[in-house]
Amino acid sequence: MAKARTGRDTPAVTARPSDALSRERKLELYYWMKLTRQLEERLVNLYRQTKVVGGLFRSLGQEADAVGSCFALEQRDVMSPLIRNLGAMLVKGATPVEVLKQYMAKADSPTRGRELNIHFGDIGEAGVTRGFLGQISPLGDMVPVMTGVTMSFKMRGEDRVGLVYVGDGATSTGAFHEGINFAAVQKCPLVVIVENNGYAYSTPTHKQSAVKFFVDKAIGYGVLGLQADGNDVLATYDVTKAAVDHARAGHGVALVELITYRRKGHAEHDNQSYVPAGEIEKWAAENDPIDRYVQVLRSTLGVTDAEIAAIDARIMREIDEATDLAELSGTPDAREALMGVYAEPPAEQPLWFRRDVVADAYGQERPESWGTWNADGAKP
C-alpha cells in the first residue's frame, strides 16, 4: 500500500538557514524574545494598577514562535499577527511605547484610542511602512485579507511576501479555509503560520480538529506543509525561512505548523481551571523557549552571563523609558469619536441630544453607576 502523502512528507529544509545567521543576529533573537516577555510583565503591572483600560493578552512561553518566524521576513514583507504575536510585531518594528499607549488607550496611540492591545498596523509601500497589518477579533479573517495583500504583490510584480498567523482554533473557521484556498489557487506569495498552542480559549486541540497535526491540512490545499518545534527559536526561524523562500520564489502558499504551549489563560482574567494539573508547570520547567535558547547561546556561541545581563539591562531601560513616555500622554477628546468613519464625510454629526453638551465629561462613566436606582426611580 502506498504511503499516504501528507504535507509533512514534502521535502523542504535541507541546510539550516539559521547557520548563516551571525552571532549578532542570534543575540538579536534573544533580545526580541526577552523584550516581549518583559514588556508583557510591565503590562501586567499596569493592568493591576488599572492603567490598562481593557483586557490583557499574554504570549508567555510562545515568544520563540512569534520572534523566530517573523525574523525570517524582510523589511518590505507584510505580516499580520495574532493576539499572541507581540514578539512578531516588535521584530517588524512596532515599538514598546506604541504598545503601551495602545493598551492604555492614549490619544496619541497608533489607533488614537479606537482599538485594543496590539490591534494596530502600518502597511503600504515597501520602505516607507514597517509592514504589519492589525488583526481584528473574529479569527481567521486575516487569512483572506492577506490573500488580497499578497495578490497585490503578484499583480504589481513586487518582490514581497506576506505572512499571516492563525491559531489552532482559527483553522476551524470558514475564513481560514476560503482564504488559504483562494491564495493557493492564485499562487499568492503567502505563508500561513498555524500556532498550535494546545488551547483555543478553553477548548483543547482535540476538540478543535480531528487531524493529529495541523500541517496535514496542507495536503488538502495543495500547498507546501512544514512543521517545527515552536519553542525552539532557531528551528522556527529555519522552517519559516524555507516557507518564505518558497513563496518568494513564486511557488505559492506554504502552511507552517509551529508547536508550542500557551502558559497563560486566554486573557489575564482566565484562571485556566480547564488545564490538567501540572501541565503548565511542566512546560515552564522543561520547555521555556527563552531558557532553552540561553542554553544554546552559551553552548554554541560562548555567550557569557555578562552579555546576557547587559541585554537584559538594556531591555529594562527601554521599557522604563517607554512607560514614562506612555504615561505622559493624554486621553482622547470625546468628540474625536465621530471622526473618520468614511473618507467623505470626514466626521459624523453629533446626535441632537449631544449637540450642546460639553464633551469633556465623557470617559468618566463607570459600571458602578449602573443598577443603583430602584425600579421606582428613587436612589437607594
Minimum CB distance to other proteins smaller for 185 or for 249: 185
CA distance 91 to 359: 39
Instruction: Compute CA distances 333 → 38, 252, 254, 358, 375, whole Å.
Output: 31, 46, 44, 11, 34
> By CB under 8 A, how many residues form the interface with other proteins?
42
Q: 3-class DSSP state for residue 230? A: coil
Indicate whether 171 belongs to the interface with other proteins (CB under 8 A): no
| CB of 74 vs other proteins, minimal distance in Å | 16
Q: How far is the CB of 145 from other proteins (least distance, A)?
A: 4
Q: Are 139 and 166 in contact (CB under 8 A)?
A: yes
Q: Give 27 or 126: the residue with its C-beta nearer to other proteins.
A: 126
Q: Which stretch binds other proteins (CB under 8 A): 83-91, 173-181, 211-219, 307-315?
A: 173-181
By CB under 8 A, tell whether 134 contacts other proteins.
Answer: yes
- How far apart, in whole angstroms, are the C-alpha atoms of residue 296 and residue 304? 12
Based on the shown chain and the rule CB under 8 A, indicate whether residue 93 belongs to the binding site for other proteins.
no
Tell whether residue 149 is a contact of other proteins (CB under 8 A).
yes
Measured CA to CA, the distance from residue 96 to residue 179 in angstroms comes to 31
Q: Is residue 147 near other proteins by the rule CB under 8 A?
A: yes
Rounded to a whole number of angstroms, the minimum distance from the CB of residue 9 to other proteins is 25
| Contact partners, residue 54, CB within 8 Å, separation at least 6 | 103, 105, 116, 117
Which residues between 109 and 128 bind other proteins (CB under 8 A)?
111, 114-115, 119-121, 123-124
Q: Where are the beta strands (DSSP E) in the chain?
A: 78-80, 162-167, 190-196, 199-200, 203-204, 224-229, 254-259
Q: How far is the CB of 367 from other proteins (least distance, A)?
A: 23
- Other C-beta atoms closer than 10 Å to the C-beta of 231 total 26
Q: Taking CB under 8 A as the rule, does residue 7 contact other proteins?
A: no
Residue 127, Cβ density class (10 Å: 0-12 exposed, 13-18 middle, ≥19 buried) = exposed
Site string for other proteins, 303-332 (x = CB under 8 A): ------------------------------
Sole window of 263-271, 299-307, 343-351, 363-371 interacting with other proteins (rule: CB under 8 A): 343-351
Q: Can residue 220 be called a binding residue for other proteins (CB under 8 A)?
A: no
Nearer to other proteins, 36 or 150 (CB): 150
Q: Binding residue for other proteins (CB under 8 A) from 17, 54, 55, 148?
A: 148
Q: Is 347 in the site for other proteins (CB under 8 A)?
A: no
**For other proteins, which is the closer residue by CB, 341 or 357?**
341
Q: How many residues does the chain have?
A: 380
Angle, in degrees to the nearest 10, between helices 305-328 and 23-48: 40
Q: Cα–chain-centroid distance for residue 118?
A: 7
Give the residue among 231, 212, 227 at the shortest CA–CA distance from 7.
227
Q: Which residues bind other proteins (CB under 8 A)?
A: 111, 114-115, 119-121, 123-124, 133-134, 136-138, 141, 143-153, 155, 174-175, 178-179, 181-182, 185-186, 340-345, 348, 352
